[in-house]
Structure 1
Amino acid sequence: MSPPFAGPGFDLFAAPIAGKPLRPHQERAIAMLRGSLGKGLKRVVCQMPTGAGKTRTAAEMVSGALGKGKRVAFTVPAISLVDQTVAAFESEGIGAIGVIQANHARTDGRQPVQVVSVQSLAKRQRPAADLVIVDECHLRFEAVSRWIADAPGTTFVGLSATPWARGLADDWQDLIVPVRTGELIDAGLLSPFRVFAPSHPDMTGVKLNRAGDYDETQSGEVMGGLVADVVTTWLERARGFPTLVFAVNRPHAAQLVQQFADAGVMMGYCDAHVDLIERQFLFARMKRGDLAGIVNIGTLTTGVDADVRCVVLARPTRSEMLFVQMIGRGLRTAPGKQTCTILDHADNHARLGFVTDIHHDRLLSGREKSKATAKERGEPMPKECGSCGTLKPAKVRACPSCGFEPTRQSDIEVEDGELVEIGRGLPLDASPKHDREAKQRFWSMAQHVDAGRGKGGRLAKALYRAKFGVWPAGLDPSPIPPDAGFLAYERSRRIAYAKSQQRRAT
């Protein structure tokens, strides 16, 4: 007798859900899974980024298995996600569901689909299953690893937006990547994003923990010095946007909540001790506007489907998985949402690059060393535009925000603590040429700053020549207030000049 889902012409996904067609990348995921399992592999990880429709794709697998008379188990990483998963499957037309969790009202071992938390899996008898779907498989729960080892004939499919943990290759045989975050943004299935980042919080001397990430206590102390800047920047850049703030630890989170409160902004608080009911209450309050956002400690990186329009990264990390999971909370689309604002106070983008550029094509074994950051690997990192302060993608000369294309020169230094915009996630006109309208706008802003400083026109001319390489000619001298990009550029010129004077003096 052939094992389940194997043999010539097998089709794990033979019963599509009527009335709910798959998107092209979901069809691709099913086809890639079919191909991998068709080779005789039994343990396949499918990378499904935020917004890819993980539940819809999983429902297609479940429906196909049920259509062939097979039994399915779906494991979730937290008890709080059991009811959420049951509701999501029922919304996809799957109703024959039982739950394995203590005293749960849906406990029914006769049902062909069993939703089980890994906590219950460690304490109770495993359900009979031909197909086991492991949600957030990168978390590598011991109970799941033991089940995989004990059931070599059972088909296991892992789902994860970030399947890059060390040791996954010890349990799983293959990785398929049907779609990437950047493709979902381009297709309108995820929100574009704008990132503003501080120059360089000093992480020198901060120890690394066993997982290779920053020590919590020491990084909390470093980030505690930026609490006021976090609040001030949010008030300037994201006031009114439903916000998730990622803090380092409880003392740091308490500082943030208090500093926001001192500024007249009410933020909620969430950590591992806040249960599902309380979390739902927090999100309901944020939706009503009673809370401006929620400060959390590592608990809202998954299972968040709320309208989030700003993500504040006040937690430094070297982990690509954590980085992508945090930002992913703000990338879901919502009515009226044009973009997600990301305020990175932890220098994570300077360390890891853009989330849209993080890709891996294989699983890692437990014997491999902790991965170096993109910066440590020597990969080209984003560069700051000397004109408007936007951090542009590596190897892109023309700024995607203002079009400025610099001449060959040393990197421009910026003032510590100043937030500058990073432009990868937001579709912008990246024309390298400055048209007359852009030159006029710059000249008018330069006139405004010049008049305010009492420079008699000298500053305006110097700024214009530094930016465009020529003196202004035939432009209207009427001043207009400068925007943030102009001010960042003008400030960088002042700092560069001051430092050149210091070098000459020494």
Structure 2
Amino acid sequence: MLTLFDYQEAILGKLRDGFIAGHRVQMLVAPTGAGKTEMAMELLEATGNKGNRGAMVLDRIVLCNQTSERLDKYGIGHGVLQSGHWRFRPQELIQVCSAQTLEKRGSFPNLKLLIVDEAHQTRKQTIEFIRNNPHVWVVGLSATPFTKGLGKTYTNVVSAVTTAELVERKRLVPLQVFVAKEIDMTGAKKVAGEWSSRDAEDRGIAITGDIVAEWVKKTHEVFGGPVKTVVFASGVAHAADLAQKFAEAGYNFLSLSYKDDDQFKDDAIKEFAKPDTDIVGLIATDILTKGFDVPDVMIGISARPFSKSLSSHIQQMGRVMRCAPGKEFALWLDHSGNYVRFQKDWDDVFFNGITKIDEGREKPKKEPTEREKQEAKCPRCSRIWPTGAETCPCCGFVRLKRNEVVTVPGELTKLEGGKAGASKETKQKWYSMLLYIQRERGYKEAWTPSKYREKFGVWPRDLHFEAAMPPSAEVKGWVKSRQIAWAKGRQAA
């Protein structure tokens, strides 16, 4: 039986309100891992229960099969509208079909609801079908609605949850991002604002050895040995070269590409998803960004540089952020430069979500300077600095806050707005989260005010001293960094 979370119910409620308000074509936006497929199935089932026809359209046969399996899981009767398919049942009110099948048919008699998966990847014929059938209600599904022209088709955007909230709910895990040796795209050609595939692939192959060496180092440092990994390569030849280099290092990585038939790719992913699989990693360019759901993947390697495709960058990261038993975080090894290149936009999406179709995000980004690249990471361990953090949560390195101290002739002057200048709301949240950690771990009562003073430079005053709340990833990271710093201090002593 299909059961939805509260935020999923809220999203569906907003969709229904949108239809009532006259929005026939709407975009349902939610992060990867939020359960967009489950929400779609709830809509389809409700449509069928009213005696109306509903269909979900996907852009690959493999994805149709996966969706059919999910419907079976929840006991929802349906057919797969595909010639020769074993589940061809045109009499069923709920249908799953490929975009190619819908385009060939050109019509869908008595259809009431159409759900378009990965709606940001617009297909001309699908858009024409939507416009030529004004009696059909349409819901597009997307985590990244940034494609040019979407706003001409989808008139309303519906969302009710952010990636940060899903991390807090433990529906997703946070990323630990490390900046590794970067693929050098200086002077590379661009096609329609994006780096050419040929240049990206040739330059990616040039650092294949570094990519493999960095993975070997990090998987042993962090996890004590090899763990499940996905690699996003710059092209088919780059993926094959990576697979060969991983094999030479003694690790079984499988390369997948458009040249492989769908059954082979489907079988490979199913084998990789097994807990006892012999496959350590999968390597591909974009195949793994659609319909890939293997929650226990622990490491993602970014080795395909993008100049403007924020959506591809976000889709890739989402593949490793799904939750699994015992999984507290995922490692992201960035050889592409994408994380720093898109960091501002990603932080906005992560914390604030998406409430409108923003075609302006998919424009070539200005390349960060070398100084900006160095300032974005910890100088000791190369971990990306979390937004707003003063201390590296990985190695405990403390960085002096920029503009906190200025030098003038003859004196040092401390600026206002430093630690003690934080808002009362921020201070209350930090105190409440520290109090939660203290109680959860059984620390002495003095621990919370002591840590608060360490953070803000003053003792806590005028706060709700009994209000505890679960800590955010930032607070837990800060506490861990102080423990690491303390341990390193004792070791040095």
- Alignment TM-score, normalising by the size of structure 1: 0.74
CA contact (8 A) 1:268 1:293 kept: yes
Which residue pairs with 1:363 in the alignment?
357
Say if 2:241 is the partner of 1:251: no
Distance 2:58 2:201 in 1: 30
Distance 1:269 1:398 in 2: 38
The within-5 A match list for 1:72-471 is: 72-95=54-77, 97-128=78-109, 129-198=111-180, 200-210=182-192, 212-238=193-219, 239-286=225-272, 287=274, 288-306=276-294, 307-318=296-307, 319-353=309-343, 355=346, 357-358=348-349, 359-364=353-358, 370-373=362-365, 383-386=376-379, 388-401=381-394, 402=396, 404-406=398-400, 408=402, 428-430=476-478, 438-439=485-486, 441-442=488-489, 444=491
Moved more, 349-358 or 122-131: 349-358
Q: What secondary structure does 1:66 align onto?
A: helix
Q: What secondary structure does 1:304 align onto?
A: coil
Distance change (3 Å), C-alpha of 1:46 and 1:296: same
Distance change (3 Å), C-alpha of 1:196 and 1:32: same
CA shift for structure 1 position 394:
4.2
Structure 1 unaligned spans of 5+: 1-18, 411-423, 446-475, 477-506
Aligned length: 408
| Percent of pairs with identical residues | 30
CA shift for structure 1 position 126:
2.6
Distance 2:269 2:481 in 1: 45
CA contact (8 A) 1:248 1:315 kept: yes
Distance 2:487 2:73 in 1: 55
CA contact (8 A) 2:246 2:253 kept: yes
Distance change (3 Å), C-alpha of 1:30 and 1:375: farther
Deviations 1:236-279 (A, max 9, x none): 11242111111111221121111111111121110123334312
Distance 1:427 1:289 in 2: 36
CA contact (8 A) 1:192 1:427 kept: no
Distance change (3 Å), C-alpha of 1:442 and 1:256: farther
CA contact (8 A) 1:398 1:432 kept: no
CA contact (8 A) 1:352 1:375 kept: no
CA contact (8 A) 2:56 2:115 kept: yes
Distance change (3 Å), C-alpha of 1:137 and 1:408: closer
Distance 2:171 2:130 in 1: 33
Moved more, 267-276 or 341-350: 267-276
Distance 2:151 2:11 in 1: 20
CA shift for structure 1 position 78:
0.8
CA shift for structure 1 position 53:
1.1
- Alignment TM-score, normalising by the size of structure 2: 0.76
Moved more, 227-236 or 397-406: 397-406
CA contact (8 A) 1:302 1:329 kept: no
- Amino acid of the structure 1 residue aligned with 2:150: L
Give the counterpart of 1:31 among 5, 13, 22: 13
CA contact (8 A) 1:219 1:316 kept: yes
CA contact (8 A) 2:289 2:316 kept: yes
Distance change (3 Å), C-alpha of 1:408 and 1:172: closer
Structure 2 unaligned spans of 5+: 220-224, 405-471
Distance 1:148 1:433 in 2: 52
Q: Which has the larger radius of gyration?
A: 1
Distance change (3 Å), C-alpha of 1:69 and 1:375: farther
Q: What secondary structure does 1:196 align onto?
A: strand
Distance change (3 Å), C-alpha of 1:294 and 1:189: same
Q: CA RMSD in A?
A: 2.8
Structure richer in helix, relative to its length: 2
Distance 2:487 2:390 in 1: 22
Distance 2:487 2:30 in 1: 46
CA shift for structure 1 position 135:
0.8
Distance 1:114 1:331 in 2: 30
